Structure 1
Amino acid sequence: MRRRDILCGLAASSLWSPPASAAPILRSDDPRFAELVDPSARPVTLYREGRWCEGVCWAPHLGGLIVSDVRSNRMLVIGEDGGVMPFRDPSNNANGNVLDGQGRLVTCEHRTRRVVRRESDGSMVVLADMYGGQPLNSPNDAALAPDGAIWFTDPVFGITVPDEGIQTTPSQSARRVYRIDPAGEILAMTDAVGQPNGIAFSPDGRTLYVTETSAALDNAEGARAILAFPVEERRLGDPRVVASLETGAPDGLAIDEAGRIYAACDDGVRVYLPDGTLLGRIATATPASNVEFGGQDGNRLFISAGSVVAAIDLKVRGAVKAR
């Protein structure tokens, strides 16, 4: 099975909420899960007409929630009033998005195999498209470090999966995590992850979380895990496994104010403590692809899952990101 057969499953053609006889949307694996979300809370569907929604990014100065519909080759913005407007069409099969230290939108593009930054006038600046004189694989997701650097993952999904870019042979010898220094220098930080995907920093910036999704590329025995790297003077130490999944593969990540990890997985959004303790799960009708905190109070969790984008209000806020 190829990546999207594992991660996407059947298309989401029904409402988010399952029938009353189905399993509960909120599943608690630890009593502390009740500290995060009210047992009666339910996700609200914001959008349900995508092909593969990804890259959710809360950007109120740009209109609301930015969403990449990778396979439709477009980006849209969902306003706080629920209205949906085009943002970039075509989008170069854009995937992950993050705001930089000045609030500018940084986007990973599959089709062009680059990381770009949107300026205040709407123009685009290329931050990264080559390493070692060769094109990148297909930048997937990005995170802002406390020092203003942009870190991004570079697996091969955008050059191997149909409809997510232009299929070709990788030019890079490895799949890496890169760092773009505020001055513009591009550094390879690690090639220890077979297919690095989601990426996020702990609130203090001392830990980098990366999802390993090798199992999602025709490799049922490949790794499917959340890894934690200690950040040591802008370098990465040896990773430890926070959690390993038995099926599917973890995708996008979000971190709350206390450092808990929210991972988009094939059965919904799983919530972990940094030591790997599973607190619970917010179930989704189809595999979740990404998560993002936002909203006026910072406690709204946005979830992309196949054709759907939804939101659920929590009792906790997302980690404050460097600006």
Structure 2
Amino acid sequence: MRVAAAALFLILSGVAHAQQGNTTLAYDAANRGPVPIPPSEIGLQTVTAEPWLSLAGQRLFLEGAVFDKANDLLFVDMFSGRVLKVDPSKSVSTVVERNTIVPTGLAVHRDGRLFLAGVGNMRSGSVVAFRADGRGRAEIIPPGAGYVPDDLVFDSVGGFYFADFKGTSTQSTGGVYYASPDGRISPILPNLSAANGVALSPDGKTLWVTEYARNVLHRVTLADATTVAPVGTAIAYHFTGPSPDGLRVDADGNVYAAMFHQGRILVFNRNGLPIGQILIPGRDEGRFLLTTSLAFKPGTNEIYIVATDGEGSAGATIFRASGFAKAAIPFSHR
């Protein structure tokens, strides 16, 4: 009891001392910008990405960065529905033409097809596949199924997990589902508030999920493709500020979360503990805060980050940085 009383006295003494000192709050370098780093994350190992390719002068909203089997970078433009490709010479071409899918996620099937997760009108979305050349459109999950697919990731047998972006911070009507190769859909993590990013560990046994509207990172241990292991779910991290978006993993199992409206990437180890961050240049001035997705270049630790300037005038840019480990080999590439 005496120890508790002494502790309380010290706390109150400290508060009193602070009140007797400087009585005016003031902006400084750490809190003046629109997206200050939270105190709990300011000590993380930090690097700043470099601009790699500017797409200024175009009305774009970039999402769903992935590399295909030819090591070309692919990503989607949510505004037009297009899939764009950047080859190693930085030449940009259109793979999938304009459409009304409103894609936010992109994954490459083992046979080379491009699978797009589209949020549609935010009430009914779809998953649509195209051949590698952008032709041969096929609906995998039609709008009538009642989902709002935001992102997806393939497993070792050619099925995929997808995030259903329905719900709000007070209405948990979304979730994560598994679509098997034969078309069956199974719930994996129901009752989520705008499920967003999904990623699989290199061994396929751990599913990572971001919940956009509740600002959390889920770690899910899988017994098999459609079964969560006993005591297999946990909230590994509570984010501060807006808002976790796309996820990727590296070969060591580290998890990289794009922070939408923050212009940075947060990195977690295989247990969900924060170990680093990548900052987008210009974020302190409110530039390129719409950071949605990233992709590892195969065989390297190079990370390519897609970000949009929002209400700014600089359009969209792809940034490059280096991660802790090399790229995990996607199951679709094995």
TM over 0.5: yes
- Is the counterpart of residue 148 in structure 1 residue 141 in structure 2? no
Q: Which residue of 2 aligns with 1:279?
A: 275
2:166–2:175: 8 Å Cα contact kept in structure 1?
no
Query: Which residue does 1:213 correspond to in 2?
Result: 212
SS of the residue corresponding to residue 150 of structure 2 reads: coil
State which drifts further: 100-109 or 310-319: 310-319
Q: TM-score, normalised by structure 2?
A: 0.72
Secondary structure at the counterpart of residue 141 of structure 1? strand
More contact order relative to length (CA 8 Å, sep ≥ 6): 1
CA contact (8 A) 1:46 1:78 kept: no
Matching residue of 1:302:
304
Specify which of 67, 70, 75 is matched with residue 83 of structure 2: 75
Q: Secondary structure of 1:258's partner? A: coil
Cα gap change, 1:24/1:113 in structure 2, threshold over 3 Å: closer, same or farther? closer
| Aligned twin of 2:234 | 240
Runs of 4+ more than 6 Å apart: 22-25
CA displacement, residues 188-244 of structure 1 (integer Å, 9 cap, x when unaligned): 222132211000001111110000011xxxxxxxx1011111111221245211211
SS in 1 for 2:290: coil
Change (3 A) 1:106 1:321: same
User: Aligned equivalents of 1:146 and 1:298: distance in 2?
Assistant: 21
In structure 2, the residue matched to 1:320 is 329
* 2:319 alignment partner, SS class: strand
Residue 119 of structure 1: aligned partner? 131
Q: Report the Cα offset of residue 60 of structure 1.
A: 4.7
Say whether the 8 Å CA contact 2:303–2:320 is kept in structure 1.
Answer: yes
Does the 8 A contact of 1:24 with 1:283 survive in 2?
A: no
1:1-323 paired onto structure 2 within 5 Å = 29-30=43-44, 33=45, 42-49=49-56, 50-61=59-70, 64-92=72-100, 93-111=102-120, 113-120=125-132, 122-129=135-142, 134-156=144-166, 174-214=173-213, 223-234=214-225, 235-237=227-229, 238-265=232-259, 266-267=261-262, 268-284=264-280, 285=283, 286-295=289-298, 297-306=299-308, 307-314=316-323, 316-322=325-331, 323=334
Q: What does the per-residue CA deviation read over 1:19-68, in whole Å, with 9 as the maximum and x for residues that have no partner?
A: xxx9999x9845xx58xxxx6x742332333532101111153x711111
Structure 1 unaligned spans of 5+: 1-21, 161-172, 215-222
Structure 1 pair 232–101 and aligned structure 2 pair: CA distance change class (3 A)? same
| d(CA) in 1 for partners of 2:217, 2:106 | 20
Question: Aligned equivalents of 2:248 and 2:132: distance in 1?
Answer: 26
Q: CA separation in 1, counterparts of 2:62 and 2:132?
A: 25
Residue type of the alignment partner of 1:147: V
The CA deviation at 1:102 is: 2.3
Question: How far, CA to CA, are the matches of 1:118 and 1:152 in structure 2?
Answer: 17
Q: Rate the CA distance shift 1:113–1:104 in 2: closer, same or farther, 3 A.
A: same
Q: Aligned AA for 2:279?
A: A
Percentage of pairs with the same residue: 23
Report the Cα distance in structure 2 between the residues aligned to 1:316 and 1:184, rounded to whole angstroms.
Answer: 34
Task: Select the structure of larger CA radius of gyration.
Answer: 2
> Contact conserved, 1:100 with 1:150, CA < 8 A, in 2?
no
Distance 1:59 1:239 in 2: 31
In the TM superposition, what is the alpha-carbon distance from 1:109 to its structure 2 partner?
1.9
SS in 2 for 1:251: strand
Give the TM-score normalised by the residue count of structure 1: 0.74
